[in-house]
Amino acid sequence: MKHLFTACLLASSAAYAQSPITITAAQYPATAASVDRFQLATVTGVSAPTKGANQTWDYRGLAPQGSVVVSTYASAGTTPPFAGSNRSYALPLALGPFTVNSTAYEGFDAVGFTQLGTAVPAQSFSLTATTGFPGDVLSVPAQNIAVNLLRLPLPLTSTTRVVRDSRAVSNSLLTVGLLGLSQAPFRYVQRITTVDSVAGWGTVRIPVAGSAAGSAPIQVLLVQRRVVQQDSFYLNGQPAPAILLGALGQAQGNKTYGFQHSFFRQNAAQEVLGFSYATGSFAAPAAARYSAETAIPLAATAAREVAAGGLTAWPNPAARGQALSFALAMVAPAQPLRLTLRDALGRVVAATVAPNGSPASLPALPAGLYLAEAEAADGTRFSRRVVVE
């Protein structure tokens, strides 16, 4: 019966040839030294990703559009305006027809990677072109605006679903002669609801500049995001009149929506691939971008690693209680490997750290087929099936 059970598992190995990854804060290195590189792509004829478990998405046919977009970050400083900040970046904020300069601060907290807030320096915008009166102005005083907008829930697993509400309040002063306003307090309130849920997992392949074969299959989680933002405006503590908001290109209670799919991998601070959609049906992408990181594995490189052995486990098959050794090709001997063993249902049954090529300290496992995953400190990782008799 034992051998029949093992044979059945082997016959259905395609169902767990891969298993869902988990992304923790330690595997999401978003620091001030991070540099995000994205390539925009055309979406003509591009289909939305199929949701579900153990998918093999292939988007190597995406056509690049324009140049690579590079985003850099800066230190949050020794005394950032928002506690827990670990990096910052310039963030232009839209206020009607005006662009308000600000600096955004991001950091880790108990629920993930979060935009904590924005620091706005003092600035002002003339309203003369809109009202026709000299001296009419929108003045924005220096202020720190708490946001607490979740950028990525952590840890991120195949079952993650997080709903997060945030509220941002910015203050300014209005001088409009026609309305008899002189430095009148004007408040802009944004209420934002974000729903992040993992809609699938598997591997994805993307284009790589200079490589006809594109990337190797990359283990990812597919995150679906829905965002609803409602805007409210107050003048002298009361709802702002429609005539004023119309002049500023705003509307009381206006709602805007955002719908996105993002593929995330371990040990990267940016998504592998992202789609945005015009509606919540997630039917046809309206825009796309993919990672232009130099660390994206090439298909040819992956083939060489597999030919060189990838992950080796011995003895295999192993007797119950017998010590197992694991070795990753192209990783120096004795370097630490993070080892995870999963059963046929994808559940973690053992996890440890062992030197590359040396016996690992594992519990005695029942007879059956397991998926062993090994990851080195440099991010090199492979998996292999292991049989216990």
**pLDDT tens digits along 250-266:** 999 999 999 999 999 98
Whether 301 is in a domain gets the answer no
CA–CA gap between residue 231 and residue 256 (Å, rounded): 9
Q: Domain check: are 370 and 336 in the same one? A: yes
Whether 298 is in a domain gets the answer no
Whether 260 is in a domain gets the answer yes
Q: Domain check: are 265 and 362 in the same one? A: no
Q: Domain check: are 51 and 77 in the same one? A: yes
* pLDDT over 90 (residue 216): no
Query: Model-level pTM?
Result: 0.74
Whether 232 is in a domain gets the answer yes
Of 291, 325, 360, the residue at which a domain comes to its end is: 291
Whether 300 is in a domain gets the answer no
CA–CA gap between residue 2 and residue 116 (Å, rounded): 55
Q: Domain check: are 151 and 118 in the same one? A: yes
The residue assigned the tokens 């220096």 is 142
pLDDT at 210: 86
pLDDT at 378: 73
Surface-to-core class of residue 67, CB atoms within 10 Å of its CB (0-12 exposed, 13-18 middle, 19+ buried): exposed
pLDDT at 117: 97
The alpha-carbon radius of gyration of the chain (Å, integer) is 26
Q: Rank 41-45, 307-311, 350-354 by mean pLDDT and report only the highest.
A: 41-45
Q: Domain check: are 164 and 280 in the same one? A: yes
Q: Domain check: are 316 and 232 in the same one? A: no
Q: Domain check: are 139 and 223 in the same one? A: yes
* pLDDT over 80 (residue 344): no
Residue 241: both structure tokens together: 């009149």
Q: Domain check: are 148 and 167 in the same one? A: yes
Q: Domain check: are 272 and 313 in the same one? A: no
Q: Domain check: are 93 and 116 in the same one? A: yes
Listed range (29-38, 259-268, 375-384) with the worst mean pLDDT: 375-384
Per-residue pLDDT tens digits for 6-22: 333 333 333 334 589 99
* Domain interval for residue 120: 31-291
Number of domains in the chain: 2
CA–CA gap between residue 131 and residue 140 (Å, rounded): 18
Per-residue pLDDT tens digits for 96-138: 889 999 999 999 887 889 999 999 999 999 999 888 889 999 9
Tell me the CATH number at 312: 2.60.40
* pLDDT over 80 (residue 231): yes
Q: Domain check: are 187 and 315 in the same one? A: no
Q: What dihedral do alpha carbons 117, 120, 124, 125 form, nearest 10°?
A: -40
The residue assigned the tokens 């590359």 is 356
What does the DSSP 8-state code read for residue 272? S
pLDDT at 166: 96
Whether 188 is in a domain gets the answer yes
Between 322 and 84, whose confidence is greater? 84
CA–CA gap between residue 111 and residue 371 (Å, rounded): 29
Q: Which residues contact 71 (CB under 8 A, 6 or more apart)?
A: 35, 36, 37, 38, 89
- Confidence label for 63 from pLDDT (cuts 50, 70 and 90): very high
CA–CA gap between residue 280 and residue 286 (Å, rounded): 12
Q: Domain check: are 177 and 239 in the same one? A: yes
Per-residue pLDDT tens digits for 249-308: 899 999 999 999 999 998 888 999 999 999 999 999 999 999 999 888 887 544 333 333
Average pLDDT over the chain, rounded to an integer: 87
Whether 303 is in a domain gets the answer no
